[in-house]
């Protein structure tokens, strides 16, 4: 290999001219590679780290960091970051307090009133079967009907632990349960709406009452075309209103919901779908059905 096989080229880093084999130069051109006069220039070209100064005023140490690790604040170490951040945001210090239950001196945060979970539980007011029944009756008077389980979650939990189930608690309070929770797919409690329509549940009666109160003519149990399915309500425009109260509660029920939606799509029937969150914990029928009053 003689001097004819060599060619002059500039270093991609230091711009110094050096000799390199011609076939290597052509190869680098094809591969879009740079040429370097020495391993040192190659290393300097690959070095992309930036020189930074530690933000800790007591340190001011210089250090290198690669671009993807550079953030808003730069510290040479975790300990320097901790020193600065602790000075900016001092930690809360627990104060000496007196336990509300046992009067013991303890260190606690602002909202801590008890020295232990045991003292907290002792201070809680115990609930009795009588107090549960009284609260159920108050809720019933407030709603002017038999309350549903989902309308008083905490009360329902206590009632279930005390009486065995929400239905048994309602019976103890002298009320008739809306529906059996254990067999709700098979056994229902019929409820009459204000206009005399017989509804399958309290939830349906609430919707029926809303339609009557807003002067929207409606028909119960309208038949779907080419099937035995029936819609909860049919209004004057021909649209169907369905209350899917057990959606995502049973695969069989969900299949029925899907079939009804498909039938409405096939026969160009407008369908208004209502779900439990449209009634509980607050009735939101004005936003869901309000457009019917303009028709």
**Each residue's pLDDT expressed in tens, for the chain with a length of 295 residues:** 555 688 888 998 898 998 888 888 888 888 888 888 999 988 888 888 888 999 998 998 999 888 888 888 889 999 999 999 888 887 767 788 888 889 889 888 777 888 888 888 888 777 888 899 999 999 888 888 888 887 788 888 889 988 888 888 888 888 877 654 344 443 456 778 889 998 888 889 899 999 999 999 999 999 998 888 999 999 999 999 999 988 887 788 889 999 999 999 999 999 999 998 888 778 889 888 988 887 6
Closest CA to 260 of 279, 249, 274: 274
Q: Residue 149: phi, psi to the nearest 5? A: -60, -40
Contact criterion met (CB below 8 Å) for 181 and 170: no
pTM over 0.85: no
The domain locations on the chain are: 3-46, 53-88, 129-172, 191-294
Helices (H), the chain: 22-31, 39-46, 78-88, 117-123, 129-143, 153-163, 166-172, 202-213, 251-266, 285-289
Q: At what angle do helices 129-143 and 153-163 cross, to 10 degrees?
A: 140
Is 191-294 a domain of CATH 3.40.960?
A: yes
Token readout for 226 is 């080419």
């Amino acid at each position: 290999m003689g001097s004819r096989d060599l060619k002059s080229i500039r270093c991609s880093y230091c711009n110094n001219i050096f000799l390199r084999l011609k076939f290597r130069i052509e190869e680098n051109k094809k591969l879009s590679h740079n040429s370097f006069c020495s391993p040192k220039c190659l290393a300097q070209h690959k070095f992309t780290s930036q020189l930074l100064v530690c933000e800790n005023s007591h340190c001011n140490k210089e250090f290198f960091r690669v671009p993807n690790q550079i953030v808003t604040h730069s510290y040479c170490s975790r300990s320097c970051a901790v020193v600065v951040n602790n000075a900016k945001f001092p930690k809360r210090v627990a104060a000496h307090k007196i336990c509300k239950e046992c009067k013991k001196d303890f260190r606690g945060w602002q909202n801590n009133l008890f020295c232990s979970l045991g003292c907290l539980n002792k201070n809680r007011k115990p609930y009795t079967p009588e107090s549960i029944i009284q609260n159920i009756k108050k809720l019933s008077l407030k709603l002017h009907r038999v309350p549903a389980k989902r309308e008083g979650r905490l009360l329902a939990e206590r009632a279930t632990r005390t009486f065995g189930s929400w239905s048994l608690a309602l019976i103890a309070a002298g009320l008739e349960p809306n529906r059996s929770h254990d067999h709700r797919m098979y056994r229902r409690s019929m409820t009459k709406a204000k206009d005399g329509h017989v509804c399958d549940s309290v939830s349906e009666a609430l919707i029926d009452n809303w339609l009557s109160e807003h002067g929207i003519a409606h028909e119960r149990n309208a038949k779907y075309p080419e099937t035995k399915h029936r819609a909860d309500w049919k209004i004057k425009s021909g649209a169907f209103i369905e209350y899917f109260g057990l959606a995502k509660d049973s695969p069989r029920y969900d299949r029925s919901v899907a079939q009804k939606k498909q039938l409405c799509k096939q026969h160009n029937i407008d369908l208004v779908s209502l779900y439990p969150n449209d009634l509980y914990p607050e009735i939101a029928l004005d936003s869901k059905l309000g457009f019917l009053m303009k028709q």
